[in-house]
Amino acid sequence: MLLGWGLNQGRQIVSDDPKKIRLPLIIRIILSLSLVLTALLISLSLRNITGNLLLLGMIFSFIGDLFNAGVIPLKNPRIGGMLAFAPAQILYIAAFYTLLETGLSLYAGLILAAFWLAIIISWWFFIRNPEKKSALNLGALIYSLLLGTMLCFAFITALQLAGWWWMILVGAFLFFISDTIIGITDFGGLAMIRPHLWIWLTYIPAQMGILYGAWLGSHL
């Protein structure tokens, strides 16, 4: 409900530049904090390493949100965002790994390799920007590979456990879509109507899918 209200407020902002149409800052902070609270409650409910890793991942995500929103000042907020969200992705990967019943098989390795290949090709054509610093482009590639790895582990976990665990795959996929929008608009320079609203419309359900998928999958 809060996300819907915030999106409506952002949609009504009058601006000639679609990139300036954003959710009100207070709504973004409250939404992000609500996810941290949700992760805390789920961690207390699960009482296992998976829940703890998800909580830590959500805390790093919250820090990344603060960077992206400019609350934590940085010359390039996206750099701070990537530096915070990168460990968040690693923690999510670790959380999904703890759920795997048979560990990583050769088949899973091939799936991961296919994910990486698709991401590298997509990064080259849609995100890499020769006008930006090479370090920034490299950072975007490394983060994209981490994000793709998280999505791959979510897919393997959902495939093995089925049931409500498919929610974490939906969440991971929406996470991938949300950050892809950032990549193709902020880095690749692709024009898009109200990209910031689309980012949040996918980001919040993404985190919810990961968190609630783990909680429901563990209890039902």
pLDDT in tens, 177-191: 999 999 998 888 787
For helices 195-219 and 25-46, what crossing angle results, to 10°?
A: 10
* CA distance linking residue 123 with residue 74, whole number of Å: 24
Residue 107, phi then psi, degrees to nearest 5: -60, -45
Which two tokens mark 41?
Answer: 């409650």
Residue 139 structural domain: 2-10+19-219
What was the pLDDT predicted at 120? 95
The amino acid that residue 126 corresponds to is: F
Which two tokens mark 62?
Answer: 């919250």
* CA distance linking residue 11 with residue 87, whole number of Å: 32
What was the pLDDT predicted at 204? 94
What was the pLDDT predicted at 6? 74
Decide if 62 contacts 32 (C-beta within 8 A): yes
What was the pLDDT predicted at 85? 96
What was the pLDDT predicted at 172? 97
In order of 19, 23, 67, 94, 111, the CA distances from 119 in angstroms are 25, 29, 25, 20, 12
Instruction: Give the gyration radius of the chain's Cα atoms.
Output: 17
What was the pLDDT predicted at 191? 77
What was the pLDDT predicted at 197? 87
pLDDT along the chain (220 residues), means of 10: 76 66 85 95 95 97 94 87 95 94 74 91 91 87 95 92 94 96 86 85 95 92
What was the pLDDT predicted at 103? 63
* CA distance linking residue 136 with residue 146, whole number of Å: 15
Mean residue pLDDT across the chain: 89
What was the pLDDT predicted at 25? 87
What is the reported pTM?
A: 0.90
What was the pLDDT predicted at 59? 97
Q: How many domains does the chain divide into?
A: 1
